[in-house]
Each structure stands twice: as structure tokens, then as C-alpha cells.
Amino acid sequence: MGVTTVTDVRQTDRASSIEPTVSPESSVLAKLFRSEQGGHEQVVLCQDRASGLKAVIALHSTALGPALGGTRFHAYASDEEAVEDALNLARGMSYKNALAGLDHGGGKAVIIGDPDTLKSEELLLAYGRFVASLGGRYVTACDVGTYVADMDVVARENRWTTGRSPENGGAGDSSVLTAFGVFQGMRAAAKVQWGEPTLRGRRVGIAGVGKVGHHLVEHLVDDGAEVVITDVRADAVERIVARHPGRVTAVSDAEVLVRTPLDVYAPCALGGALDDATVGALTATVVCGAANNQLAHPGVEKDLADRGILYAPDYVVNAGGVIQVADELHGFDFDRAKAKATKIYDTTLAIFDRAKADGVPPAVAADRLAEQRIAERTPSAEWLRPEGSA
């Protein structure tokens, strides 16, 4: 594997009398050990100098089963930013997997660097060996910057890789069911906001029409919605507009999109899309999109609620992809996975009901339900079962 460095920070069930030394300047370690958002079981720093691999694997929780989450390949501004992203994403996966009814905990990996210039077979194989070193505690899959073909390479070094090609026994592109699940969540939001679980006649703005966004466009067009899109890649926008003349239009960027008269705003690119400026400018009364970690900071969910904007928590509605790759571990069956992803509609409705009952924003209600399932270690067969049912 070349010169490798593995740093392992693990939380065990045995209490320790040794307090970790945390520098005030080290926001990542402070978050890991001190904050309410911490509590990660294990963080592994991986390096293979021969291939140029620098990666972080973060396991937030294995209470419900092996941690499951994708591998992001991104050119971070700093190594600390990469670690913090891995921590945030891993925690989000714990909650996502819990509310998706999966018997999996949450984990995430990030590979640091520009995938267009750094990605190689040698690097992916080295990364696969690090996944193998965790002995099944972490199951990986695709994420931003990694694709089915990449997972086929990673899987050559370990058996805990999903999102592989059908030719290699995998489920293929998980963005198919991710988009389907977002559509189900959007239908639930429409039911609450307008009384009918359909987007027919509604105007939906999608920021990002890449892996997931372009599939979401198809669902919305088929449902009778008018769609407005934007993306940093002009060719992707042009291709979709040409495919649906008169049904899909485009604007120059996300800032213009949020100010465009909309019924629904769907962030489907990178996280942090819902910041103070965006929330203040939104014309839509529903936000439901595929991007992870959409809330730029704590408190944004209350700002949305105060403006009368119904927010469908991102990690709830975008769980179709993880449902798909989790099914791969049992011998992939698309119809079985799609049937489970269809339940995102019911789960989203349950969260809206809980939010109303508790008098809290939907994001808070979703967190409470996820934390309840993790704390109780509730099996998937019992998850959200109606009271009094057999």
C-alpha cells in the first residue's frame, strides 16, 4: 500500500478517565469530542503516498448495524474542511438510514483532491484496502465525485462496497431511486401544503440537474409540473431543456432561481444551499431537494417555518439511493428497493405530523424520530409501525 498513516479515534462503551486534549483552535476535534453533534465512534485518516490518496472515513454510529454511506471525492479548501465534512455527512447518514428503516448505522468517507486530475485505479484500490481494514464496520458506495465504475474498482479490494455495476453484481446508478424518493417527499409536502399529493400545475425550481436532478425533472414533467432549472454546467441545462421544450425552462444561476416565482424549490447540488440570504429571497412555499446538509447553520429551519415555508428534511427525502445500495447487500432486486423507497412518502408525512404535534419545525421532528430509533435500536420491521398493529 506504500507509505500509509492510519489515525483511529474510537469511542468505546468503556468509560475513560482520560480527558482528550483539545486545542481551542482545533474546531474539528472540539466538534468530535465536545459538541452535541459529535459522538462519532471512529474516525480514520488514510494516506497512500504512492497513489496520492488522502482520505477520511468517519463512522458516526453502528447502533443499528454496519455504518453505510458513500465516498465523496472533492477538492477541499483545507484538510480540516474535509474532516469536518466527513463528520457532518456521517452523522447525517446515521439519521438518514434510521428514518429510511434500514438496519444500518451512518458513515461517510471523503477523498481529498480534484477527481478529474487525481483519480486513478491505483488510488481507488488503495482506498479499497482501507475500507477492508475496517472489517465490515463500514459499507461504502458512490457520492459526489465517485461513480459506479469507481466502486467496481474499490470492490476488488473488499466485499463491503455497494453501488457497483449490474455486470459486477451491483445495483448500478443509485441516483435513480434517490430522485424517486425526493419526488415521493415532494408529493407528501404537496399533500400537506395544497391538499393533494401531486405537483400537477405547480412550478418547481431545481438547482442542480446532475446525477439526481435530471431524473427528478422526468418525474415532475410526467406528473404535470412546470420545471425551471439551473446548473453550473450549461451543457446539462441545454440537454434537458431541449428534451422538454415548453415544459422546462432555465435561468442563469441559483440566486436568480430562488427569486423566480415558484411553488417548490429543490436544491439538488452541494450542501449549505439554505442560508439566510436564500431563505429571505425564496418565493416558494415548499423546499424539497436532493442535496445533503441543506441548512447552512442551526436556526435556518425556524426561519423557514416563520416564513410559512414547508421544509422536507433533506436526509429523509433523499434516502432512495441508500435504500437502493443497501438492498444490493442482499442480492439486488430493483422492485423491492423501489417499493421501500415509495415509503418515503409515508415517512415524510409522519414527520410533518410529528412537527405539528410537537410545535417544532420538520427538521427538528425528523431528528427526534431518528434519535429515538437509534437509541431504542428498533429493528426495521418495527419502524413506524402504526400503534395497535400486529
Would residue 356 show up in a list of annotated catalytic residues for this protein? no
pTM given for the model: 0.84
- The residue annotated as part of the active site, out of 108, 119, 340, 343, is 108
Q: Which pLDDT tens digit goes with each residue over 99-144?
A: 999 999 999 999 999 999 999 999 999 999 999 999 999 999 998 8
Which of 230, 232, 178, 223 has its CA nearest to residue 206?
Answer: 230
According to the model, what pLDDT value does residue 271 have? 81
Q: Averaged over 23-50, what is the pLDDT? A: 77
Q: How far apart are CA 45 and CA 386, in angstroms?
A: 43
Burial class from Cβ neighbours inside 10 Å (0-12, 13-18, 19+) for residue 81 reads middle
According to CATH, what is the number of the domain 7-11+35-96+105-165?
3.40.50.10860
208 is in an annotated binding site: yes
pLDDT reading at 15 higher than 80: no
Is the model's pLDDT at 12 over the cut of 50? no
What band does 26 get if pLDDT is binned at 50, 70 and 90? low
Question: Is 258 annotated for ligand binding?
Answer: no
Rounded Cα distance between 293 and 49, Å, is 31
Domain ranges of the chain: 7-11+35-96+105-165, 175-319+351-370
Mean pLDDT of 145-154: 95
3-state DSSP call for residue 142? Answer: strand
> pLDDT-derived band of residue 385, with 50, 70 and 90 as boundaries?
low
Assign domain 175-319+351-370 to its CATH superfamily: NAD(P)-binding Rossmann-like Domain (3.40.50.720)
At 10, the pLDDT band (50, 70, 90 cuts) reads very low
Q: What is the DSSP string of 52-113?
A: TEEEEEEEEE-SSSSEE--EEEE--SSHHHHHHHHHHHHHHHHHHHHHTT-S-EEEEEEEES
Give the mean pLDDT of 212-238.
96
289 is annotated as contributing to ligand binding = no
Task: Judge whether residue 7 has pLDDT over 80.
Answer: no
Q: What is the reported pLDDT for 390?
A: 39
Residues 168-193: pLDDT tens digits? Answer: 989 888 889 999 999 999 999 999 99
The backbone torsions φ and ψ at residue 54, rounded to the nearest 5 degrees and listed phi first, read -130, 120
